[in-house]
Amino acid sequence: MRFFLANFFFFISFYSFGCKCESLSPITAELTKGYDVIFIGNVDSVGPCGKEGISTAYFTIQELYKGSVSQHVRVDFDCASSCLMSFEKGEQWLMYTTFQKFDMLTVTLCTHSRKFFADAMQDYYAAVAARTFEQEKQFLKTTLGIKTFAINNQLNDQQKELKPHNDQPSNINKLVLVLVSIVTMTVVYFFSRKKK
């Protein structure tokens, strides 16, 4: 009876508090379209867990497979819920990330992101990925190629393009708009007077 109750409470707590991710299939060319930036990089540092349950890991990218980012990026991640992730300085990760806002990458536990293990026997990601870390790296190189890093000027230009902006017409265009408006109002006025 105790065995039954212990198992019952274990499964209840597991399903109540455990992280629920949809089952991942191995990464394919089609699945890479769901990510904005894909790279292999080393963790330089990790920030503290904030009040919102979000922390930031800072990476130096070794190989960029998809996206337009500089070589040094920050990635926000969940550090407090049952779906929390854990990064440590010096670790190497294959990251599948999306933009939360411009230039703000985010990653969740329920993505294809995986850590490199020197001992392949410890690589629990290999079961889901159906590839070793090196095989997945080679797959991405072959499928997506290696991209060049964006320089800060390019990132600033991209940000300007994405931000809403209010372009004012030149003085000549303003004059033309005023003249066209006056002519249109005059035509409407005379047309409406003729009908009366």
Structure confidence by residue, pLDDT tens digits, 170-183: 778 778 888 888 99
Would the pLDDT of 107 be above 50? yes
Give the domain range for residue 145: 29-162
Read off the CATH number of the domain in which 124 is found. 2.40.50.120
Whole-angstrom Cα distance, residue 55 to residue 74? 10
pLDDT computed for residue 155 by the predictor: 54
| Predicted local distance difference test score (pLDDT) of residue 1 | 43
Is 157 part of a structural domain of the chain?
Answer: yes
Q: Is residue 192 part of a domain?
A: no
Give the model's pLDDT for residue 148: 94
Contact 41, 61 (CB under 8 A): yes
89-114 as b/e: b if 16+ CB within 10 A: eebbbbbbbeeeeebebbbbeebbbb
Give residue-wise pLDDT tens across range 33-82.
999 999 999 999 999 999 999 999 999 999 999 999 999 999 999 999 98
Side chain identity at residue 159, one-letter code = Q
- Look at residue 63 and tell me if it is in a domain: yes
pTM given for the model: 0.69
Q: Report whether pLDDT(12) > 50.
A: no
Tell me the chain's radius of gyration from C-alpha atoms.
Answer: 27
Mean per-residue pLDDT, 124-133: 86
Distance CA(38)–CA(107), nearest Å, equals 11
Tally of structural domains, the chain: 1
In a domain, residue 167? The reply is no
